[in-house]
Amino acid sequence: MATRRELCEEACEKEPFGEPDAALHSALPAILLLALCLTSGTGKRRSAAFFLGWLGHVLADALTHAEDARLILWPLSRRRFRGPVSYWNRARHGLPFALAEHGTLLFVAARITSRNSPKPG
């Protein structure tokens, strides 16, 4: 039976998904596109929000991927920065992280639902 790391390598790091996966999980393309967006004239707010969200995802990946670390500085470096926490491995605080993550998602979903539900009366 394959390990999670072997499955990740097979699915994300080999052709045809290797380079696109590296680009989508790297801070450098997001930073460059954010800079381009902020210096252009149209659609700044929405585009900037998108690229800031992308950078937030890259930061979250850097902190929560231990064994399956991402190439944060691709294409300049192939070095993997291993995070202190694994979002799935119990040996690296995976259970407390999962509980906090799912609790936060449940709270946000409840808030959004309560704001958008019809008011009685």
Asked if residue 68 is part of any domain, the answer here is yes
Asked if residue 121 is part of any domain, the answer here is no
What's the domain range around 64? 4-116
What pTM did the predictor assign? 0.69
Mean pLDDT of 21-43: 85
What confidence tens digit (pLDDT) does each residue in 73-120 have? 988 998 988 999 988 888 999 999 999 999 999 999 999 998 877 777
What confidence tens digit (pLDDT) does each residue in 39-67 have? 876 668 888 889 999 999 999 999 999 88
Q: Domains in the chain: how many in total? A: 1
Asked if residue 10 is part of any domain, the answer here is yes
Asked if residue 104 is part of any domain, the answer here is yes
HEC readout, the chain: CCCHHHHHHHHHHCCCCHHHHHHHCCHHHHHHHHHHHHHCCCCHHHHHHHHHHHHHHHHHHHHHCCCCCCCCCCCCCCCCCCCCCCCCCHHHCHHHHHHHHHHHHHHHHHHHHHHHCCCCC
Asked if residue 72 is part of any domain, the answer here is yes
